[in-house]
Chain A
Amino acid sequence: MISVQGLTKRYGNRQVLQDLNVDFASGKLTALIGPNGAGKSSLLMCLARLLTADSGQILLSGQDIQAFSLPDYAKQVATLCQFQALQLQLKVGELVAFGRFPHSQGRLQRSDHLAIAQALDLLGLTPLQNAVLHELSGGQRQLAFMAMVVAQQTPYLLLDEPLNNLDLKHAVQLMQVLCHLRDQQQKTVIVVLHDLNMAANYADQVVAMQQGCIRHAGDVGQVMTATTLSELYQLPIQVLHTELGRFCHYFNQPEKLYAC
């Protein structure tokens, strides 16, 4: 379990995280949702130890994350950042092999090659493993980075808007991979999502943030309601329950949202 206690972060006068207290349950897929600038990415960066909070602490299975050495932490928590380097002269297989760095320090053993092959297979990238990254489409590249994170074989996965650049099929594929990792390997997955429907249909738990605070946290059914979401995004949102799952409907707004 990851437990966030009294986490605060400010940039100058702007408070981006205000005294956050939240628990992320083990073996669950938790979606972080909220409007732009709510502090979702900042919270995720703090969890990934890429950003240092001003006060408060984060406990990973009861232990302060600052107590881990960086290489040890990389064996516990894998993170997919929001922006990836674009001009990479790397083959897909080489990129995925980077995911084994915390375990192998660059000298790949047989277990590493196995983990790389499994990750490539899970993301359906085995036929592309010798393709060079910058020649791939944005979606394929995103999947390759996802494979790198999977190859890291950590109990915790943090993903910052992994569905950016992905078309419908790839997006669903990626969410299914996350569910597979949760179900088959009991991973704890925390993912920042902008697509409410993905959150409503794939997440177990949802943490809703707004202006640096956590407004709601709980099971997906509790948080993904019309009143909660409408208030969160300041936009009338309906939640329809269909045979295939929940559907968040926010299109064809009668009210004009632009200025002039």
Chain B
Amino acid sequence: MNKSWQLVFCGLLSVLLALTYLLFDSGLDTEFILPNRLVKLLAMLTGGIAIACSTLCFQTITENRILTPAIMGYESVYLLWQALLVLLFGLNSPLLQDLQLNFVCSTLVLLGYSLLLQRWLFSRSLQDVWQMLWYGLVFSLVGSSLTQFFQYSSSPAEFSLLSQYSLASFQRAELNQTLFSALLTLLVASFIWRQRHQLDLLQLGALQAATLGVNRALLLRRQLALIAILVAISTSLLGPTAFFGILIANLSATFSRSQSHRHRLPLAALCAVLLFLLAQLLVEHLFNFKTSVGLLLQLCCGGYFFMFLIKHRQTS
């Protein structure tokens, strides 16, 4: 299929699913159901764009197809932060109860973490992807075991709140923070979009890109800063999405058969939105909220990677 038609097709499908999600079983209730669903829809769009852009750019600048910024310790820092809030201030603290305040604080914490990570780590070892992955995994492990440690010393009510935080969901999305996230994401995504040609060149390797006039050091610094903002937004808005970024990055590469960011960025974002919509529809109408979007997405990622492995075993 032609690349532009792929986008049109995915776009139409998303619009169709979005309308279904908005209207199905809504009774056209403009008081509560429709506004509520519109906010969630906006959250899905924002999250989809943020995760797609951050993962694709991260994979491009690290020249690695199996990395996602989400597993570089961001998500465990997010969870650790929530656990610390519960432990230090208790369940009734405004830091936990006021979703807006919670959102702003966790975004700031994640931005701080990524600044630290970049200054301390990326300055010396961006050359070595494996070393970077190693550091990221170590931070993730330390973060999640500390979180578990705090969880075990918490009360059942606290424990259940913390477990909610550990899975992605759209239930936390509220109007103000979603609007704010959407605007910020659009702004960051437009910066990334303007650098799409330079990102394309990076796939030739750092040296060959430099001979074509790409200032790689400058590009990397800018991209890492933009990625940090996107990851902070998507994690604070939806919660941890783990391997979801890799899934949509891979899907977009498989469908478009191209590495060009002009095609892949919108395609990956649309894939993400489509999967979000499907998962949310299933959770609301098939499972009656007995499962969560995060679980469904993780199941989907797991299944995809399993198939991916089997397929590669057969071809190799």
Give the interface of A toward B (CB within 8 A). 48-50, 70-75, 77-79, 81, 83-85, 88-90, 94-95, 98-99, 101-102, 105-107, 152
Task: Please list the 5 inter-chain residue pairs (A to B) with the smallest Cβ-Cβ separation, ordered nearest first.
Answer: A106-B197, A74-B213, A71-B213, A79-B211, A102-B213
Chain B 258-275 interface 0/1 with A at a Cβ cutoff of 8 Å (1 = within): 111000000000000000
Q: B59 to nearest A CB, angstroms?
A: 13
Residue with the greatest number of chain A CB neighbours at <10 A, chosen from B196, B200, B207, B259: B207
* Complex Cα–Cα for A81 and B211 (A): 9
Q: B132 to nearest A CB, angstroms?
A: 19
Are A81 and B205 also in contact (CB < 8 A) when A88-B259, A89-B257, A94-B260 are?
yes
Query: B212 touching A99 by the CB < 8 A rule?
Result: yes
Q: B217 to nearest A CB, angstroms?
A: 10
Are A98 and B211 also in contact (CB < 8 A) when A89-B253, A89-B257, A106-B196 are?
no
Residue with the greatest number of chain B CB neighbours at <10 A, chosen from A89, A94, A99: A89
Query: A50 touching B200 by the CB < 8 A rule?
Result: no
Query: A98 touching B200 by the CB < 8 A rule?
Result: yes
Are A81 and B213 also in contact (CB < 8 A) when A89-B253, A101-B201 are?
no
Query: A70 touching B215 by the CB < 8 A rule?
Result: yes
Cross-interface CB contact of B214 among A70, A78, A84, A89, cutoff 8 Å? A70
Q: B121 to nearest A CB, angstroms?
A: 23
Q: B134 to nearest A CB, angstroms?
A: 22
Are A84 and B208 also in contact (CB < 8 A) when A90-B203, A98-B200 are?
yes
26 A-B residue pairs with CB within 8 Å: A48-B211, A49-B210, A50-B207, A70-B210, A70-B213, A72-B213, A73-B213, A75-B213, A77-B211, A81-B205, A81-B207, A83-B205, A84-B205, A85-B63, A85-B203, A85-B208, A88-B203, A88-B259, A89-B259, A90-B203, A95-B204, A101-B212, A101-B214, A102-B212, A105-B197, A107-B197
* Complex Cα–Cα for A79 and B211 (A): 6
Give the interface of B toward A (CB within 8 A). 63, 196-198, 200-201, 203-205, 207-208, 210-215, 253, 257-260
Q: Which residues of B contact A94 (CB under 8 A)?
A: 260
Which A residue's beta carbon lies closest to that of B204?
A85
Q: A134 to nearest B CB, angstroms?
A: 11
Query: A74 touching B211 by the CB < 8 A rule?
Result: yes
Q: B2 to nearest A CB, angstroms?
A: 14
Given A81-B208, A152-B212, 4 new contacts (CB under 8 A): A78-B211, A84-B204, A89-B257, A95-B204
B interface, over-half SS: loop
Query: B207 touching A98 by the CB < 8 A rule?
Result: no
Q: A80 to nearest B CB, angstroms?
A: 8
Q: Which residues of A contact B212 (CB under 8 A)?
A: 74, 98-99, 101-102, 152
Which B residue's beta carbon lies closest to that of A95?
B204
Q: A47 to nearest B CB, angstroms?
A: 11
Q: Which residues of B contact A81 (CB under 8 A)?
A: 205, 207-208, 211
* Complex Cα–Cα for A48 and B212 (A): 10
* Complex Cα–Cα for A257 and B44 (A): 68
Query: A85 touching B205 by the CB < 8 A rule?
Result: yes
Q: B67 to nearest A CB, angstroms?
A: 15
Q: B274 to nearest A CB, angstroms?
A: 23
* Complex Cα–Cα for A23 and B90 (A): 74
* Complex Cα–Cα for A106 and B196 (A): 9
